[in-house]
Structure 1
Amino acid sequence: MQPDVHAAAESIRSDQQDIYAVIDLGSNSFHMLMVKVVGGSVQVIGRVKRKVRLAAGLNDNLVLSRRAMKRGWECLALFAERLQDIPPQNVRIVGTATLRLARNVKTFLHDAEHILGHPIRVISGDEEARIIYQGVAHTSSCEQNRLVIDIGGASTEIIVGQGVQPLKLSSLHMGCVTFLDAYFADAQLSEENFAAAIAAAEQVLAPVADEFNALGWQVAVGASGTVQAMQEILIAQGMDETITLPRLEGIMQQAVICGRQDQLSIIGLAQERKQVFPSGLAVLIALFRSLHIKGMTLSGGALREGVLYSMLPQLQGTDVRQHTINSLMVRYHIDQQHASRVSDMALSLANQVASRWMLTGFDGLSLLHGAALLHELGLLIEYKNHHHHGGYIISHSDLPGFTRAQQQLLMALVHNHRADINRELIAKQTMTSVLLTVRLTRILRLAVVLSMRRRHEALPNVSVSGKGEQLILQLPAGWLDQHPLMRAELEQEVQYQQAAGWELELR
């Protein structure tokens, strides 16, 4: 007797109700993201990316070539296998700029939907921009107005928003694939080709630039492979992760020196990114010039994450970063009451020196709060090196709400919250200055020691002051004499900080 294949498939799907998949049919690459919702947070369980360069098959009459379609169908056949066990209601597939433009899009969609077994929704440019912003908002916490840039294969989306709400958005007809074919078709990486591509991008930006500049955004983030490639180059060449116009122009000069596309060799540039790198760089330079961007970092998500969170109403309108922290605290059985006690002490100390030490930049206080809540993350493994275990867990986990650089800073704080201080780990930070990392580390360490009795009523009434990098910890009169163990621990902490070159005084 033949088994009921349909019933078996339904049984498998019923066990996968908390698994979701999003497919993004982009103009340069097709992406598939798969996640599992665990403890109120999103856990990535799979990512698949294939370069399809769909936009390269679009001719002047906006007809998509059969060859480009075939590349797309072959990629989707790979994706289809992974979708078989996921409930249909947990799958979303969207198409972007090239599929918006192609006059014969129905031909592509007919076979694509047959291959996938799911409908494909081709979204408008404005809707794409809105979803991109939601993806950024749900994966990278920020309280300030921010400018979001996403350079795709055939379109570039620009959005200004605050919190989870976009204030202004625009989708422009320029991308790394279309500009590659238009301005670097001869494969020459000449100053003339770059200048022509940048000028063309600035012309596309001209009608909207003033409106975006007038909104007064404070933070700029990029959500595309182009921005990621630039950041990887900067870090590989010994700089921090902040992208600036002078740095982009320096990278352009490195490309010009290479001379030709097939000879392109820049430290930190991945092989898979080389093909559309020059055109993406030109568009990004134009964006920096036209929108007067001083610095840009990489976001934690974009279109795929925006589509994903639209399927997860229970996670919408919430602090994704706090959701992630709460999920880790539950998963690793952290004493939440004590974690909050340490966090309160750390923030109390930090607020006393925040203006002098400039701790509010780069989400410094928020990351100090997160590190304090997670400082005992590694206790589930063992006590002696639990700070090392905690740092390792943070470094090797997917943390929605944190950019990769924020994750590295969080890891360094947790790793260094007790015992010997790893100065090399602090020096490797790419998010911000080593000085800010040092300051946050010193405050967290003091908060941990002062909270060591794990009772609220045992916390001393302390204050911190000092000049320059000196810290003076002021305790109530006679308190140290009444608490000899705490005195010994604080004196040991003075020794740890002095060994690292940091001046700490007890009074």
Structure 2
Amino acid sequence: MAQLKPQKNVYAVIDLGSNSFHMLIAKSIAGGLQTIGRVKRKVRLAAGLDNDNLLSAEAMQRGWECLALFAERLQDIPKQNITIVATATLRLASNANTFKVKAEQILGHKVNVISGELEAKTIYKGVAHTSSCNGRQLVIDIGGASTEVIIGQRFEALHFKSLNMGCVTYLERYFKDQRLNHTNFNAAINAAKVVISEIVTEYKTAGWELASGASGTVQAIQEIMVAQNQDEQLSLDKLLHIKQQSIAYKTISALDLPGLSEERRLVFVSGLAILIALFESLAIQQMGLARGALREGVLYSMVPELHNHDIRKRTVDGLMERYHVDQKQACRVAELSEQLALRVMSQWTEINTNAIAILKTVAKLHEIGLLIEYKLYQKHTAYILANTDMPGFSQSEHKLIVAIAHAHRSDINKDGFNGLGCYHTLAEHLTRLFRVAVILSMRRQDDVLPKLSLSAENNTLTLVFEGEWLKTHPLMASELELESKQQAKLGWKLIVS
């Protein structure tokens, strides 16, 4: 057999964090990244730091044992496609070089101990390449020994700071007795506020439009809120409520909040205390979960073809290529959908430029399910999209795209719009417009598209065709008649004349 060679389009990033060591392996394909492997181990390296910042032999041994596992997987990846970064604990440890030398022997690669400022900028790059925010964005990443706070716009970090506080170090300092009470929580929160105070004036003056959390703490809180039937947006009231719920368990070992994973339990309360301090100090109103962070930032820096800054276009183009979408038809439906949406924007005011962009995205991707089979292709499309990362779109936008794709033909299940929160009405309106656009584009030819007018009043859509178009296109007229009946079942009125 021929000797197997490493694949040139496979990349690996290893992040030696203060709480966990992570390995992310991805393949560059169809203009995007496809994750093909993730390995994560709780090492809690920061727990091995003493008061003199000397890293214990036990903590180093835990780290080396983890890296021995990672080394096996790295053998199949080209050396130039591997980057290893280390963060706060190895920045702080006075004997970091001892750990680093043996780590490099185990891995066969250089370990880069990066500065706090570079870590913050790289985290922002990871968020920027996977988010949909074009305005100013506040990004927070609570690590094991440091917390990065960044304000940036598009792909540039404008204000960035690495603060000396983390969920592992604060666990050791303020929850060492493992007790959950107001005294321990308040001590951790107040200590964090002192650290945060050095950036408060600068960051409040700079301001932001969207806040995102890139840490396991934020993800854990979001999972708890979902388990308690709340929406996914974090607020100070929700954080304080979870603090009260946590205190009721009295000890960390007994902590059993619905939705909290066993893996996160030990460092959850210390991370929560830091996050409460950030919300109170910076007057953060709401926060969502970021899709990317440090590893993604390193990865996007490594792959030249991903430096296209139109993230949404890169995502959509990659999916269209991967699933062999008929691009002419996709663009035809997208253009017609946009025309219909523009005609009712003044009546259905929740439709704005971003909503139209979402509608056009659905149009370009709605036929990817055809690669499986025709009869239920809308369900296949929705399933594929629901289970695919879509950099450039927020979680809420991603769910909106899936809901419209699922409902764009055949029977409409109104329950499919549940869980969309403030997007519920928008989803209904965009779905109605999109279903009409799909019907009118069914012949897959530009020269048969009709001249029409469209208006909306409350829940009524009125579609008027010029001349004898309906008579000369009986199949589409019949399809529109059936569509009118479908929408009527849900209390929607579609008038075609």
Provide the TM-score with structure 1 as the length reference. Answer: 0.94
Match of 1:348 in 2: 339
Instruction: Indicate the residue corresponding to 1:493 in structure 2.
Output: 483
**1:255 aligned to 2:211?**
no
Match of 1:88 in 2: 79
- Structure 2 contact 308–314 (Cα < 8 Å) conserved: no
Gaps of 5+ in 2: none
Aligned partner of 1:482 in structure 2 is 472
Partners of 1:471 and 1:249 lie apart in 2 by: 45
Inter-partner Cα distance in structure 2 for 1:152 and 1:485: 60
Deviation of 1:423 (Å): 2.2
3-state DSSP of counterpart to 2:206: coil
1:31 counterpart = 2:22: yes
Q: Distance in 1 between matches of 2:167 and 2:232?
A: 22
State yes or no: 1:373 paired with 2:333. Answer: no
Q: Which range moves more in the overlay, 350-359 or 323-332? A: 350-359
Point out the more displaced range, 290-299 or 89-98.
290-299
SS in 2 for 1:45: strand
Correspondent of 2:5 among 9, 12, 17: 12
Equivalent AA in structure 1 for residue 229 of structure 2: G
Aligned partner letter, 2:341: A
Q: Which moved more, 1:443-452 or 1:223-232?
A: 443-452
1:121 to 112, 129, 140: 112
Residue deviations 1:74-96 (CA, integer Å, cap 9, x gap): 11111010001111000000000
Q: Which region of structure 1 is more displaced relative to structure 2, 241-250 or 350-359?
A: 350-359
Match of 2:458 among 448, 452, 468: 468
Contact 1:300–1:402 at 8 Å: present in 2 too? Answer: no
- Stretch moving more, 96-105 or 160-169: 160-169
Aligned-partner residue type, residue 12 of structure 1: K
1:148 and 2:139 correspond: yes
Please report how far the alpha carbon of residue 462 of structure 1 lies from its aligned counterpart in structure 2 after TM superposition: 3.3
Q: 1:275 and 1:365, CA in 2 relative to 1: closer, same or farther beyond 3 A?
A: farther
Asked whether 1:219 is paired with 2:210, we answer yes
**Preserved contact between residue 387 and residue 415 of structure 1 (Cα < 8 Å):** yes
Query: What residue number does 1:419 align with?
Result: 410
CA 1:127/1:270 → structure 2, altered by over 3 Å: closer, same or farther? same
* Conserved? CA contact 2:400–2:423, under 8 Å: no
Q: Deviations over 1:405-425 (max 9, x none)?
A: 433332222111111112222
Cα displacement (A) at 1:131: 0.4
Q: CA deviation at 1:126?
A: 0.5
CA-atom RMSD in angstroms: 1.9
- Which contiguous aligned blocks of 4+ residues in structure 1 show a shift greater than 4 angstroms? none
| Separation (CA, whole Å) in 2 of partners of 1:364 and 1:255 | 39
Q: CA deviation at 1:206?
A: 1.3
Structure-to-structure mapping, 1:170-209, within 5 angstroms: 170-209=161-200
List runs of 5+ in structure 1 lacking aligned partners: none
User: What is the CA-CA distance between 1:399 and the residue it aligns to?
Assistant: 3.1
Structure 1: which amino acid aligns with 2:101? H
Distance in structure 1 (CA, Å) of the matches to 2:91 and 2:319: 41
Measure, in 2, the Cα distance between the counterparts of 1:136 and 1:472.
42
Counterpart CA distance in 2 for 1:504 and 1:285 is 49
**Secondary structure of residue in 2 paired with 1:150:** strand
What is the Cα deviation at residue 404 of structure 1? 4.3
Question: Greater CA deviation, 108-117 or 450-459?
Answer: 450-459
- Displacement, 1:343? 1.0
8 A Cα contact 1:129 1:171, kept in partner? yes
Q: Per-residue deviation at 1:477?
A: 4.7
1:473 Cα shift?
2.7
Are 2:226 and 1:232 aligned? no
Q: When the two structures are superposed, what TM-score results if normalisation uses the length of structure 2? A: 0.95
- Once the two structures are TM-superposed, the CA of residue 446 in structure 1 deviates from its matched residue by 2.0
Q: 1:458 to 1:34 in 2, by over 3 A?
A: same
The alignment status of 1:447 with 2:440, answered yes or no, reads no
What CA distance in whole angstroms lies between the structure 2 residues aligned with 1:251 and 1:201? 18
Secondary structure of the residue aligned to 1:92 is strand
Look up the SS of the partner of 2:248 in the other structure.
helix
Asked if 1:66 corresponds to 2:57, the answer is yes
Deviation string for 1:344-385 (max 9, x for gaps)? 122222233346432349x53332221110011111221111
